[in-house]
Amino acid sequence: MNETEKMAYAKSFIDKLAEGINPLDDTPVKDDDIINNVRISRCLYYVSSVLSKAIENETAPIVRMPKPKKSEFYLTDEQAAGFLYSEQPIYLSTIRERLNALKNDDIMKDLSHIALKEWLIKKGYLEERTVFDKKYVSPTESGESLGITSERRVGPNGQYNVNLYDLNAQKFIVSKVTEIARYAEEKKKGEATKVEFSNEDDKTLIETYRDGFVVEEIAKSVNKPIEDVVKRLRYLNKSGRL
């Protein structure tokens, strides 16, 4: 017997008592019995109504309201003006965290680190490099002029590079936050990374790859973003053309 059935069973006893009936054998009780007292009868009817509502609530279907869909990341000029700048160079992840701290958290998604990094690559301020089969991102000459520096550090797993963004680089990124947000939204729709490769482009990719050119040089040879060239090379390799 579940809780609803228990409440219904108890209510049947209460109803009979309120009507002056013995619930055990369904016989009327004597007129002078305590349960025929008007005040007690009223209390029993009240308890019966409370149990009725409880049973209705238990059996009613639960309606769950859908969570409101969050909009894509966006900052107004007033919100962007509240960015906490640092006189000391900081990580790109720190810039992202401070940008996300300015948005309306209840109705808006976060700006992703990947979208921010890829926008900087697309604009030519960062570039991906592969050294000894390890990929890393470093500033280009344009990136260094902007205020992005790369430092080599030593950790528990050996040496690694970190990119730092000075005050000028921070201000530049904040000034472009609307463009970056638009890129992030388009990227999700598949528009930002949709790059067409002609037969001539494929031929150049195959030749330069076979000649041992690095990815950065291959990308320049066809004037395409590095990330799109890498994807195309993988496709050509899977199709047996490399």
Bridge partners of 150? Answer: 163
> What pTM value is reported for the model?
0.53
Distance CA 135, CA 29 (A): 90
What's the start-to-end Cα distance of the chain, in Å? 70
CB 96 within 8 A of CB 73: no
Query: Could you give the C-alpha distances from 88 to 91, 94, 133, 176, 192, in angstroms and in order?
Result: 10, 12, 32, 20, 32
Q: How do the pLDDT tens digits run along the chain, 242 residues long?
A: 788 888 888 888 888 887 888 888 888 878 778 877 878 878 888 888 888 888 787 666 555 667 777 888 889 999 999 999 999 999 999 999 999 999 887 788 899 998 999 999 999 999 988 776 777 899 999 999 999 999 988 888 788 889 999 999 999 999 999 999 988 888 777 654 567 888 899 999 999 988 888 888 898 989 888 878 888 888 888 888 87
Q: Are strands 148-155 and 134-139 parallel, antiparallel or unpaired?
A: unpaired
Other Cβ atoms within 10 Å of 218 Cβ, number: 22
Asked if residue 23 lies in contact with residue 16, where contact means CB atoms within 8 angstroms, the answer is yes
What SS3 state is found at 111?
coil
Q: How far apart are CA 33 and CA 88, in angstroms?
A: 88
CATH 1.10.10 region(s) of the chain? 195-242
**The CATH number of domain 195-242 is 1.20.1440:** no
User: What's the CA dihedral at 4, 8, 14, 19 to 10 degrees?
Assistant: 160
Q: Which amino acid is at 26?
A: D
Of the candidates 186, 175, 193, 199, the residue with the CA atom closest to the CA atom of residue 230: 193
